[in-house]
Amino acid sequence: MTQTTIDRPGVSALQEAVQGAADRLVQAGAAGVQFRVTRGDNSFVVTSGIAELGSDRPVPADGRFRISCITKPFVSVVVLQLVAEGRLDLDRTVESYLPGLLPYGEKITVRNLMQHTSGLYNYMDSFQKPGDRFLRDRYKHYEPEDLIAIAAAKPLEFEPGTKFAYCNTNYFIVGLLIKKITGRSYREEITERVLEPLGLKETTLPGDDPNIPGPHARGYMQIGGEPVDVTLMNPSEAGCAGEIISTTADLDRFFTALFSGELLNEPEFTEMTTPLPPEMIENLPMGIGYGLGIMKLENDDDLDLWGHGAGIPGYATFAATTRDRSARVQLSFTIGDKDFGPEAEQAVIRGVNTALCS
């Protein structure tokens, strides 16, 4: 059953078009969709689908969800603030900060970690049979050092700095680096440096808590040919690379603050938004460049568009803004009774272009 809602009267042609894009995403396999769009002074939210399979409960327009890899821009802000404070150098090596952590730590810089050019093995690739493994381990606590050790036991996949390969291991190391420099966890640093100053009261770093607080849609995974509710999980396996829970409104506030200069000084913001060349980027939907924890994004109107996509069991998310903040989008959807495949991926890309491009 598809339920469509628009959160205020006076529906515009753009709202109608975005509503259609949200509905098509449900047709492609999403259970429920939240879609927040800002174009100039026009801002609205549409939803489609249902919050729970087997019910007719609509998707909450203010629902919480796991933002997964969009955690990385939050982490990057902390790192770049430490750079501005003179406490961290992007071009120093992992070995110089965390001696003995990696057998080849003298080859990898902090910059390599943040832009995914380290050559490290992605520990996630060692998790076999995702459905069966998830059911077995969904409440398991993972220590960052143990997940990093999985990668450290493997040879480098390429010489650092020569290629791009998206790898969550990189940001687990960044999390340890933040703790080494500040004496506090990345959760404490993100909370004090980002969440509290911006008033992001609906954004949380849950640690080992498997719950999603507040209103939310439930997410599913195909296991044994059936959709299994995977809403509850210990997000420590995503950790510094992807544990945050948020809302579309809080993500909009975060990216607006980032691109308006509230979080970073100009030199550090320039570092963050200096992308790798497009020819280095592969297998990154819409990605035509990667900076430090943030992507430059291809789009139909050749807008100067920046953001990040994300996926974690049950949930997929996308957030983007133009550099001048005149066009912004936050999209979250729950995986339903189909696997997230090429059709759904294309529906996301079409939806984003519908929302942001003329």
Rounded to whole angstroms, the Cα distance separating 279 from 276 reads 8
Q: Which amino acid is at 76?
A: S
pTM: 0.95
- Tens digits of residue pLDDT in 274-284: 999 999 998 88
Task: Give the pLDDT band of residue 127 (cuts 50, 70, 90).
Answer: confident
Mean pLDDT of 263-283: 95
- Tens digits of residue pLDDT in 52-81: 999 999 999 999 999 999 999 999 999 999
DSSP annotation of 191? I
Contacts of 336 (CB under 8 A, 6+ apart): 26, 29, 30, 31, 32, 49, 53, 220, 227
Asked whether 87 and 110 are in contact (CB, 8 A), the reply is: no
Asked whether 322 and 358 are in contact (CB, 8 A), the reply is: no
Mean pLDDT of 286-314: 96
Distances (CA, A) of 48 to 9, 200, 266, 281, 342: 17, 25, 39, 32, 20
At residue 335, the pLDDT reads 86
Distances (CA, A) of 3 to 50, 79, 265, 314: 6, 42, 43, 19
List own/partner pairs for 93-99 with CB under 8 A and 24 or more apart.
94/173, 94/177, 97/177, 97/180, 97/181, 98/173, 98/176, 98/177, 98/180
Given CATH 3.90.170.10, say whether it is the number of domain 9-354: no
Rounded to whole angstroms, the Cα distance separating 262 from 157 reads 37
- Tens digits of residue pLDDT in 108-125: 999 999 999 999 999 988
Domain assignments of the chain as residue spans, ordered by start? 9-354
